[in-house]
Structure 1
Amino acid sequence: MPLNKNIIIYTIVGLSVVLSFYFLSRTGIYIKQIGGVETGGKISNTISTAGDGKVYAKPDMAEINLSFSEMAPTSREALEMVNKKIDEAIKKATENGLSDSDISTTGLSVYTEYDYSNSGRKVLGQRATQSLSLKVRNLDVKATRAATLIDSLSTIDNAQFNGITFDIEDKTKLVSQARELAFNKSKQKAQELAKLSQVKLMKPVSITDSTYDISPKPYYANTAELRSAMGGGSADAQVPSGEIAVSTSLSILWGIE
Protein backbone atom coordinates (compact mmCIF):
# COMPACT_ATOMS: atom_id res chain seq x y z
CA MET A 1 0.00 0.00 0.00
CA PRO A 2 1.59 3.32 -0.99
CA LEU A 3 2.37 5.82 1.78
CA ASN A 4 0.37 9.01 2.00
CA LYS A 5 2.38 11.94 0.59
CA ASN A 6 1.35 14.11 3.53
CA ILE A 7 2.75 11.58 6.01
CA ILE A 8 6.05 11.53 4.11
CA ILE A 9 6.27 15.35 4.14
CA TYR A 10 5.45 15.57 7.86
CA THR A 11 8.04 12.91 8.62
CA ILE A 12 10.75 14.78 6.71
CA VAL A 13 9.88 18.07 8.40
CA GLY A 14 9.88 16.43 11.84
CA LEU A 15 13.29 14.85 11.25
CA SER A 16 14.65 18.18 10.05
CA VAL A 17 13.50 19.92 13.22
CA VAL A 18 15.00 17.20 15.43
CA LEU A 19 18.31 17.28 13.57
CA SER A 20 18.37 21.08 13.72
CA PHE A 21 18.01 21.09 17.51
CA TYR A 22 20.63 18.34 17.75
CA PHE A 23 23.25 20.26 15.79
CA LEU A 24 22.45 23.52 17.56
CA SER A 25 22.97 21.89 20.94
CA ARG A 26 26.18 20.21 19.77
CA THR A 27 27.68 23.52 18.62
CA GLY A 28 26.69 25.47 21.78
CA ILE A 29 24.27 27.82 19.98
CA TYR A 30 21.07 28.70 21.79
CA ILE A 31 18.12 30.80 20.72
CA LYS A 32 16.76 33.23 23.31
CA GLN A 33 14.93 36.53 23.59
CA ILE A 34 17.30 39.45 23.05
CA GLY A 35 16.92 42.60 25.18
CA GLY A 36 14.18 41.09 27.34
CA VAL A 37 13.72 40.44 31.05
CA GLU A 38 11.25 37.90 32.39
CA THR A 39 8.90 39.55 34.90
CA GLY A 40 5.94 37.58 36.22
CA GLY A 41 6.05 35.15 33.32
CA LYS A 42 6.11 37.93 30.72
CA ILE A 43 9.02 39.13 28.60
CA SER A 44 9.63 42.89 28.87
CA ASN A 45 11.93 44.79 26.54
CA THR A 46 14.59 46.90 28.21
CA ILE A 47 17.23 49.59 27.69
CA SER A 48 20.44 49.50 29.71
CA THR A 49 22.26 52.74 30.57
CA ALA A 50 24.96 53.80 33.02
CA GLY A 51 25.64 57.05 34.81
CA ASP A 52 28.32 58.32 37.13
CA GLY A 53 28.29 61.09 39.72
CA LYS A 54 31.16 62.79 41.52
CA VAL A 55 31.05 65.46 44.22
CA TYR A 56 33.85 67.32 45.98
CA ALA A 57 34.13 68.72 49.49
CA LYS A 58 36.77 70.12 51.80
CA PRO A 59 38.20 67.57 54.24
CA ASP A 60 37.31 67.90 57.90
CA MET A 61 39.87 65.46 59.26
CA ALA A 62 43.63 64.99 58.99
CA GLU A 63 45.79 62.05 60.02
CA ILE A 64 49.39 62.91 60.87
CA ASN A 65 51.88 60.06 60.86
CA LEU A 66 55.23 60.44 62.60
CA SER A 67 57.84 58.21 64.19
CA PHE A 68 60.79 58.29 66.56
CA SER A 69 63.89 56.14 66.33
CA GLU A 70 66.73 55.82 68.85
CA MET A 71 69.79 53.59 69.18
CA ALA A 72 71.40 52.49 72.46
CA PRO A 73 73.68 49.71 73.76
CA THR A 74 70.68 47.68 74.92
CA SER A 75 67.11 47.25 73.70
CA ARG A 76 65.77 48.44 77.05
CA GLU A 77 67.69 51.68 76.85
CA ALA A 78 66.63 52.27 73.24
CA LEU A 79 62.97 51.71 74.13
CA GLU A 80 63.22 54.06 77.11
CA MET A 81 64.65 56.80 74.88
CA VAL A 82 61.88 56.32 72.33
CA ASN A 83 59.19 56.20 75.02
CA LYS A 84 60.27 59.63 76.29
CA LYS A 85 59.80 61.07 72.80
CA ILE A 86 56.44 59.32 72.43
CA ASP A 87 55.25 60.66 75.78
CA GLU A 88 56.24 64.15 74.73
CA ALA A 89 54.39 63.80 71.40
CA ILE A 90 51.25 62.52 73.14
CA LYS A 91 51.37 65.43 75.57
CA LYS A 92 51.59 67.95 72.74
CA ALA A 93 48.75 66.19 70.92
CA THR A 94 46.43 66.35 73.94
CA GLU A 95 47.38 69.99 74.51
CA ASN A 96 46.16 70.63 70.95
CA GLY A 97 42.77 69.08 71.66
CA LEU A 98 43.22 65.46 70.58
CA SER A 99 41.45 62.79 72.61
CA ASP A 100 42.91 59.40 73.57
CA SER A 101 40.93 57.71 70.77
CA ASP A 102 42.65 59.96 68.22
CA ILE A 103 46.14 58.79 69.23
CA SER A 104 47.32 55.30 68.29
CA THR A 105 50.53 53.36 67.79
CA THR A 106 50.89 52.10 64.23
CA GLY A 107 54.28 50.41 64.50
CA LEU A 108 56.89 49.30 67.02
CA SER A 109 60.16 47.55 66.27
CA VAL A 110 63.43 46.72 68.05
CA TYR A 111 66.38 45.27 66.20
CA THR A 112 70.16 45.05 66.18
CA GLU A 113 71.89 47.57 63.94
CA TYR A 114 75.16 46.56 62.26
CA ASP A 115 78.01 48.28 60.44
CA TYR A 116 79.17 46.47 57.28
CA SER A 117 81.58 49.16 56.04
CA ASN A 118 84.84 47.33 56.77
CA SER A 119 84.10 44.03 55.00
CA GLY A 120 82.77 42.60 58.21
CA ARG A 121 79.87 42.91 60.57
CA LYS A 122 80.12 45.07 63.64
CA VAL A 123 77.30 45.57 66.12
CA LEU A 124 76.51 49.25 66.53
CA GLY A 125 73.72 48.86 69.04
CA GLN A 126 70.02 48.21 69.45
CA ARG A 127 67.58 50.41 67.56
CA ALA A 128 64.00 50.99 68.68
CA THR A 129 61.43 52.68 66.44
CA GLN A 130 57.83 53.56 67.21
CA SER A 131 55.25 55.17 64.92
CA LEU A 132 52.22 57.23 65.89
CA SER A 133 49.00 58.18 64.14
CA LEU A 134 47.35 61.41 65.27
CA LYS A 135 43.85 62.24 63.99
CA VAL A 136 42.91 65.92 63.96
CA ARG A 137 39.16 66.41 63.59
CA ASN A 138 36.95 69.42 62.84
CA LEU A 139 39.43 71.08 60.49
CA ASP A 140 38.77 74.55 59.20
CA VAL A 141 39.31 75.56 55.57
CA LYS A 142 43.02 76.23 56.07
CA ALA A 143 43.60 73.15 58.25
CA THR A 144 44.96 75.45 60.96
CA ARG A 145 44.66 72.86 63.75
CA ALA A 146 46.76 70.35 61.82
CA ALA A 147 49.40 72.96 60.98
CA THR A 148 49.56 74.11 64.61
CA LEU A 149 50.03 70.54 65.83
CA ILE A 150 52.80 69.93 63.27
CA ASP A 151 54.58 73.06 64.44
CA SER A 152 54.36 71.85 68.04
CA LEU A 153 55.56 68.32 67.26
CA SER A 154 58.49 69.59 65.22
CA THR A 155 60.11 70.93 68.41
CA ILE A 156 60.72 67.32 69.55
CA ASP A 157 64.25 66.22 68.68
CA ASN A 158 64.49 63.63 65.87
CA ALA A 159 60.75 63.68 65.11
CA GLN A 160 60.29 62.16 61.66
CA PHE A 161 57.09 63.10 59.85
CA ASN A 162 55.98 60.32 57.50
CA GLY A 163 53.11 62.24 55.95
CA ILE A 164 49.64 63.64 56.49
CA THR A 165 46.38 62.36 54.96
CA PHE A 166 43.17 64.36 54.61
CA ASP A 167 39.73 62.80 54.69
CA ILE A 168 36.03 63.42 55.39
CA GLU A 169 34.72 61.71 58.49
CA ASP A 170 31.08 61.30 57.41
CA LYS A 171 30.48 60.98 53.65
CA THR A 172 26.80 59.97 53.85
CA LYS A 173 25.38 63.17 52.33
CA LEU A 174 28.11 63.32 49.69
CA VAL A 175 27.36 59.75 48.58
CA SER A 176 23.66 60.61 48.29
CA GLN A 177 24.46 63.66 46.16
CA ALA A 178 26.78 61.65 43.92
CA ARG A 179 24.17 58.89 43.56
CA GLU A 180 21.49 61.40 42.53
CA LEU A 181 23.80 62.82 39.85
CA ALA A 182 24.53 59.32 38.55
CA PHE A 183 20.84 58.41 38.42
CA ASN A 184 19.91 61.58 36.53
CA LYS A 185 22.67 60.99 33.98
CA SER A 186 21.56 57.41 33.42
CA LYS A 187 17.90 58.48 33.08
CA GLN A 188 18.80 61.20 30.59
CA LYS A 189 20.61 58.66 28.40
CA ALA A 190 17.66 56.27 28.62
CA GLN A 191 15.19 59.03 27.64
CA GLU A 192 17.32 59.96 24.63
CA LEU A 193 17.58 56.34 23.51
CA ALA A 194 13.86 55.76 23.97
CA LYS A 195 13.07 58.84 21.90
CA LEU A 196 15.44 57.76 19.13
CA SER A 197 13.97 54.26 19.18
CA GLN A 198 10.39 55.59 19.26
CA VAL A 199 9.49 53.61 22.38
CA LYS A 200 8.04 54.59 25.74
CA LEU A 201 10.41 54.59 28.72
CA MET A 202 9.11 52.79 31.82
CA LYS A 203 10.38 52.42 35.39
CA PRO A 204 13.76 50.78 36.16
CA VAL A 205 13.75 47.00 36.18
CA SER A 206 17.06 46.71 38.08
CA ILE A 207 19.74 49.03 39.46
CA THR A 208 23.37 48.16 40.21
CA ASP A 209 25.11 50.63 42.52
CA SER A 210 28.90 50.85 42.53
CA THR A 211 29.70 53.51 45.09
CA TYR A 212 33.37 54.05 45.74
CA ASP A 213 35.33 56.46 47.84
CA ILE A 214 38.27 58.24 46.27
CA SER A 215 41.33 57.51 48.39
CA PRO A 216 42.07 60.19 50.99
CA LYS A 217 44.49 62.79 49.71
CA PRO A 218 48.01 62.09 51.01
CA TYR A 219 50.38 64.92 51.77
CA TYR A 220 53.90 63.59 51.98
CA ALA A 221 56.71 64.64 54.27
CA ASN A 222 59.05 65.60 51.44
CA THR A 223 57.02 68.71 50.60
CA ALA A 224 58.43 72.12 51.46
CA GLU A 225 55.74 72.73 54.07
CA LEU A 226 56.49 69.60 56.08
CA ARG A 227 60.24 70.03 55.75
CA SER A 228 59.73 73.47 57.25
CA ALA A 229 57.70 71.93 60.06
CA MET A 230 60.51 69.48 60.77
CA GLY A 231 63.00 72.26 61.29
CA GLY A 232 64.16 72.72 57.70
CA GLY A 233 62.94 76.32 57.51
CA SER A 234 61.93 79.27 59.60
CA ALA A 235 58.31 79.58 58.46
CA ASP A 236 55.33 78.04 60.23
CA ALA A 237 53.83 74.96 58.61
CA GLN A 238 51.38 75.69 55.79
CA VAL A 239 49.24 72.65 55.03
CA PRO A 240 46.78 73.16 52.14
CA SER A 241 44.18 70.39 52.29
CA GLY A 242 42.58 70.58 48.83
CA GLU A 243 39.32 68.69 48.23
CA ILE A 244 38.13 65.10 48.57
CA ALA A 245 36.06 63.42 45.83
CA VAL A 246 33.29 60.86 46.36
CA SER A 247 32.01 58.95 43.31
CA THR A 248 29.08 56.70 42.46
CA SER A 249 28.39 54.67 39.31
CA LEU A 250 24.94 53.26 38.52
CA SER A 251 23.99 50.68 35.90
CA ILE A 252 20.23 50.77 35.31
CA LEU A 253 17.99 48.50 33.27
CA TRP A 254 14.90 50.44 32.14
CA GLY A 255 11.68 48.88 30.93
CA ILE A 256 10.33 50.04 27.55
CA GLU A 257 7.18 49.43 25.56
Structure 2
Amino acid sequence: MDTGVSVVGSGQVSGTPDILRVTFGVEQVAPDVAAAVATVGERTDAVIAALRAQGVEESQLGTSSVNVFQEYREPGSDAAYRASHTVLVETKDLTGFGALLNAAVDAVGNSLALHGLQFDIEDKSELLVQARELAFQQAKTKAAHLAGLAGFSLGSVTAISENHGHAPLGLESRRLSASKAYDSAINIVPDDQNVVVSLQVHFAWA
Protein backbone atom coordinates (compact mmCIF):
# COMPACT_ATOMS: atom_id res chain seq x y z
CA MET A 1 0.00 0.00 0.00
CA ASP A 2 1.36 3.44 -0.96
CA THR A 3 2.21 5.66 1.95
CA GLY A 4 1.63 9.36 1.93
CA VAL A 5 -1.41 11.53 1.47
CA SER A 6 -3.76 12.24 -1.43
CA VAL A 7 -5.62 15.54 -1.58
CA VAL A 8 -7.75 17.48 -4.03
CA GLY A 9 -7.14 21.13 -4.77
CA SER A 10 -9.18 23.42 -6.97
CA GLY A 11 -8.47 26.72 -8.66
CA GLN A 12 -10.85 29.09 -10.40
CA VAL A 13 -10.13 32.13 -12.56
CA SER A 14 -12.38 34.38 -14.62
CA GLY A 15 -12.00 35.76 -18.10
CA THR A 16 -13.87 38.04 -20.47
CA PRO A 17 -15.82 36.18 -23.17
CA ASP A 18 -14.97 36.86 -26.81
CA ILE A 19 -17.33 34.48 -28.65
CA LEU A 20 -21.12 34.41 -28.98
CA ARG A 21 -22.80 31.17 -30.05
CA VAL A 22 -26.48 31.16 -30.97
CA THR A 23 -28.39 27.98 -31.83
CA PHE A 24 -31.48 28.40 -34.00
CA GLY A 25 -33.94 25.66 -34.84
CA VAL A 26 -36.33 25.47 -37.80
CA GLU A 27 -39.29 23.12 -37.29
CA GLN A 28 -42.30 22.01 -39.30
CA VAL A 29 -45.14 19.54 -38.77
CA ALA A 30 -46.80 18.06 -41.84
CA PRO A 31 -49.06 15.12 -42.73
CA ASP A 32 -46.20 13.28 -44.45
CA VAL A 33 -42.43 13.09 -44.10
CA ALA A 34 -41.64 14.48 -47.54
CA ALA A 35 -43.62 17.66 -46.96
CA ALA A 36 -42.10 18.23 -43.51
CA VAL A 37 -38.56 17.74 -44.79
CA ALA A 38 -39.07 19.92 -47.86
CA THR A 39 -40.55 22.79 -45.87
CA VAL A 40 -37.81 22.68 -43.26
CA GLY A 41 -35.18 22.67 -46.00
CA GLU A 42 -36.67 25.75 -47.65
CA ARG A 43 -37.05 27.64 -44.38
CA THR A 44 -33.58 26.71 -43.17
CA ASP A 45 -32.20 28.16 -46.40
CA ALA A 46 -34.19 31.33 -45.72
CA VAL A 47 -32.77 31.64 -42.19
CA ILE A 48 -29.22 31.11 -43.41
CA ALA A 49 -29.70 33.72 -46.14
CA ALA A 50 -31.04 36.19 -43.57
CA LEU A 51 -28.08 35.57 -41.27
CA ARG A 52 -25.63 35.94 -44.16
CA ALA A 53 -27.28 39.29 -44.96
CA GLN A 54 -26.40 40.36 -41.41
CA GLY A 55 -22.71 39.75 -42.13
CA VAL A 56 -22.40 36.19 -40.81
CA GLU A 57 -19.75 34.34 -42.82
CA GLU A 58 -20.31 30.83 -44.16
CA SER A 59 -17.52 29.56 -41.89
CA GLN A 60 -19.49 30.84 -38.87
CA LEU A 61 -22.53 28.72 -39.70
CA GLY A 62 -23.00 24.99 -39.20
CA THR A 63 -25.64 22.31 -38.76
CA SER A 64 -25.67 20.79 -35.30
CA SER A 65 -28.57 18.38 -35.78
CA VAL A 66 -31.31 17.23 -38.18
CA ASN A 67 -34.32 15.23 -36.98
CA VAL A 68 -37.42 13.68 -38.54
CA PHE A 69 -39.94 11.71 -36.52
CA GLN A 70 -43.61 10.83 -36.28
CA GLU A 71 -45.43 12.80 -33.63
CA TYR A 72 -47.58 11.07 -31.06
CA ARG A 73 -51.27 11.63 -31.73
CA GLU A 74 -54.41 10.38 -30.04
CA PRO A 75 -55.74 7.11 -31.51
CA GLY A 76 -57.86 7.84 -34.56
CA SER A 77 -56.08 11.11 -35.34
CA ASP A 78 -54.33 11.70 -38.64
CA ALA A 79 -50.61 10.96 -38.69
CA ALA A 80 -48.21 13.88 -38.45
CA TYR A 81 -44.47 14.13 -38.89
CA ARG A 82 -42.09 16.71 -37.44
CA ALA A 83 -38.86 17.69 -39.15
CA SER A 84 -36.27 20.01 -37.65
CA HIS A 85 -32.90 21.48 -38.57
CA THR A 86 -30.68 23.10 -35.96
CA VAL A 87 -28.19 25.75 -37.06
CA LEU A 88 -25.30 26.97 -34.91
CA VAL A 89 -23.99 30.51 -35.43
CA GLU A 90 -20.63 31.52 -33.96
CA THR A 91 -19.57 35.14 -34.01
CA LYS A 92 -17.21 37.53 -32.26
CA ASP A 93 -19.82 40.30 -32.41
CA LEU A 94 -21.06 40.01 -28.84
CA THR A 95 -23.64 42.77 -29.29
CA GLY A 96 -25.25 41.43 -32.45
CA PHE A 97 -27.69 38.94 -30.93
CA GLY A 98 -30.81 41.07 -31.38
CA ALA A 99 -30.13 41.77 -35.04
CA LEU A 100 -29.49 38.08 -35.79
CA LEU A 101 -32.60 37.01 -33.94
CA ASN A 102 -34.86 39.52 -35.65
CA ALA A 103 -33.48 38.60 -39.07
CA ALA A 104 -34.19 34.91 -38.45
CA VAL A 105 -37.69 35.59 -37.13
CA ASP A 106 -38.48 37.83 -40.09
CA ALA A 107 -37.34 35.06 -42.43
CA VAL A 108 -39.53 32.20 -41.14
CA GLY A 109 -41.79 33.54 -38.39
CA ASN A 110 -43.30 30.89 -36.14
CA SER A 111 -41.19 28.11 -37.64
CA LEU A 112 -38.19 29.43 -35.70
CA ALA A 113 -37.02 28.25 -32.28
CA LEU A 114 -34.14 29.59 -30.20
CA HIS A 115 -32.38 26.59 -28.65
CA GLY A 116 -29.66 28.49 -26.86
CA LEU A 117 -27.41 31.50 -26.53
CA GLN A 118 -23.95 31.07 -25.10
CA PHE A 119 -20.94 33.26 -24.46
CA ASP A 120 -17.55 31.61 -24.37
CA ILE A 121 -13.79 32.20 -24.39
CA GLU A 122 -11.96 31.04 -27.50
CA ASP A 123 -8.50 30.56 -25.98
CA LYS A 124 -8.54 29.37 -22.38
CA SER A 125 -4.91 28.25 -22.24
CA GLU A 126 -3.61 31.10 -20.04
CA LEU A 127 -6.64 30.86 -17.74
CA LEU A 128 -6.03 27.13 -17.36
CA VAL A 129 -2.41 27.78 -16.40
CA GLN A 130 -3.49 30.22 -13.69
CA ALA A 131 -6.24 27.94 -12.39
CA ARG A 132 -3.85 24.98 -12.36
CA GLU A 133 -1.31 26.92 -10.26
CA LEU A 134 -4.01 27.88 -7.77
CA ALA A 135 -5.25 24.31 -7.59
CA PHE A 136 -1.79 22.89 -6.94
CA GLN A 137 -1.05 25.46 -4.24
CA GLN A 138 -4.32 24.61 -2.50
CA ALA A 139 -3.54 20.89 -2.72
CA LYS A 140 -0.06 21.40 -1.28
CA THR A 141 -1.41 23.51 1.58
CA LYS A 142 -3.99 20.86 2.42
CA ALA A 143 -1.41 18.08 2.26
CA ALA A 144 1.03 19.96 4.51
CA HIS A 145 -1.70 20.52 7.07
CA LEU A 146 -2.70 16.86 7.07
CA ALA A 147 0.91 15.74 7.27
CA GLY A 148 1.46 17.97 10.29
CA LEU A 149 -1.63 16.58 12.01
CA ALA A 150 -0.34 13.06 11.41
CA GLY A 151 3.20 13.86 12.59
CA PHE A 152 4.83 13.55 9.15
CA SER A 153 6.62 15.82 6.71
CA LEU A 154 5.72 16.02 3.03
CA GLY A 155 7.98 14.37 0.50
CA SER A 156 7.83 14.38 -3.28
CA VAL A 157 4.75 14.32 -5.47
CA THR A 158 4.16 10.82 -6.81
CA ALA A 159 0.96 11.31 -8.83
CA ILE A 160 -1.25 14.08 -10.22
CA SER A 161 -4.64 13.79 -11.89
CA GLU A 162 -6.35 16.79 -13.48
CA ASN A 163 -9.91 17.73 -14.35
CA HIS A 164 -11.01 21.07 -15.68
CA GLY A 165 -14.26 22.64 -16.72
CA HIS A 166 -15.84 25.80 -18.05
CA ALA A 167 -19.29 27.17 -17.32
CA PRO A 168 -20.41 29.47 -20.13
CA LEU A 169 -23.44 31.69 -19.78
CA GLY A 170 -26.45 30.27 -21.62
CA LEU A 171 -30.15 30.80 -22.21
CA GLU A 172 -32.71 28.04 -22.36
CA SER A 173 -34.49 26.87 -25.48
CA ARG A 174 -37.70 28.64 -26.39
CA ARG A 175 -40.21 29.06 -29.19
CA LEU A 176 -40.41 32.42 -30.94
CA SER A 177 -43.01 34.23 -33.00
CA ALA A 178 -42.72 37.16 -35.38
CA SER A 179 -45.00 39.25 -33.17
CA LYS A 180 -42.66 38.80 -30.21
CA ALA A 181 -39.30 39.40 -31.88
CA TYR A 182 -36.72 41.02 -29.68
CA ASP A 183 -35.79 44.66 -30.20
CA SER A 184 -32.80 44.65 -32.55
CA ALA A 185 -31.02 47.00 -30.14
CA ILE A 186 -31.24 44.51 -27.25
CA ASN A 187 -28.22 44.85 -25.00
CA ILE A 188 -26.75 41.45 -24.11
CA VAL A 189 -23.96 41.85 -21.56
CA PRO A 190 -22.21 38.57 -20.64
CA ASP A 191 -20.68 37.98 -17.24
CA ASP A 192 -17.08 36.92 -16.90
CA GLN A 193 -16.67 33.23 -17.62
CA ASN A 194 -15.15 30.89 -15.03
CA VAL A 195 -12.49 28.31 -15.75
CA VAL A 196 -12.02 25.71 -13.01
CA VAL A 197 -9.21 23.19 -12.59
CA SER A 198 -9.29 20.36 -10.05
CA LEU A 199 -6.13 18.44 -9.20
CA GLN A 200 -5.80 15.23 -7.22
CA VAL A 201 -2.25 15.13 -5.93
CA HIS A 202 -0.50 12.36 -4.02
CA PHE A 203 2.44 13.28 -1.81
CA ALA A 204 4.82 10.71 -0.33
CA TRP A 205 6.11 11.12 3.21
CA ALA A 206 9.56 12.64 3.50
Question: Structure 2 CA distance, aligned partners of 1:217 and 1:113?
Answer: 32
Deviations 1:17-57 (A, max 9, x none): xxxxxxxxxxxxxxx7xx73xxxxxxxxx444331101122
Match of 1:129 among 63, 84, 88: 84
Match of 2:183 among 209, 226, 235: 235
Identify which range, 191-200 or 94-103, moves more after superposition.
191-200
Question: Structure 2 CA distance, aligned partners of 1:166 and 1:121?
Answer: 43
Return the structure number with greater relative CO, CA threshold 8 A, min gap 6. 2
Question: Structure 2 CA distance, aligned partners of 1:86 and 1:246?
Answer: 35
Contact map agreement 2:31 2:78 (CA 8 A) in 1: no
Deviation at 1:177, TM superposition (A): 0.9
CA RMSD of aligned residues (A): 3.3
Counterparts of residues 146-161 of structure 1 (less than 5 Å): 146-156=97-107, 157-158=109-110, 159-161=112-114
Deviations 1:75-131 (A, max 9, x none): 444434322321221123223343333322233344566864xx62235x6554322
The answer to whether residue 37 in structure 2 is matched with residue 84 in structure 1 is no
With normalisation by structure 1, the TM-score equals 0.63
Deviation at 1:189, TM superposition (A): 2.9
**Which ranges of structure 1 fall in alignment gaps of 5 or more residues?**
1-31, 37-45
Question: Structure 2 CA distance, aligned partners of 1:180 and 1:166?
Answer: 25
Question: Structure 1 CA distance, aligned partners of 2:104 and 2:181?
Answer: 15
Contact map agreement 1:161 1:230 (CA 8 A) in 2: no
Contact map agreement 2:18 2:120 (CA 8 A) in 1: yes
Distance 1:149-1:211 versus aligned 2 partners, 3 A rule: same
Q: Which residue in the other structure is 2:15 paired with?
A: 57
Question: Structure 2 CA distance, aligned partners of 1:71 and 1:255?
Answer: 64
Q: Which residue in the other structure is 1:184 paired with?
A: 137
Contact map agreement 1:111 1:126 (CA 8 A) in 2: yes
Distance 1:195-1:75 versus aligned 2 partners, 3 A rule: closer
- Structure 2 SS opposite 1:178: helix
Contact map agreement 2:101 2:181 (CA 8 A) in 1: no
Deviation at 1:166, TM superposition (A): 2.5
Question: Structure 1 CA distance, aligned partners of 2:25 and 2:58?
Answer: 18
Deviation at 1:249, TM superposition (A): 1.6
The answer to whether residue 121 in structure 2 is matched with residue 168 in structure 1 is yes
State the identity as a percent.
25
Question: Structure 2 CA distance, aligned partners of 1:112 and 1:48?
Answer: 53
Pick the structure with greater CA Rg.
1
Deviations 1:128-170 (A, max 9, x none): 432222222x24xxx2033332232222222221222232222
- Structure 2 SS opposite 1:82: helix
Deviations 1:160-206 (A, max 9, x none): 2122223222221111111000111122234445566675544x332
Question: Structure 2 CA distance, aligned partners of 1:152 and 1:172?
Answer: 35
Distance 1:59-1:115 versus aligned 2 partners, 3 A rule: same
Count of aligned pairs between the two proteins: 203
Q: Which residue in the other structure is 1:211 paired with?
A: 163
Distance 1:230-1:177 versus aligned 2 partners, 3 A rule: farther
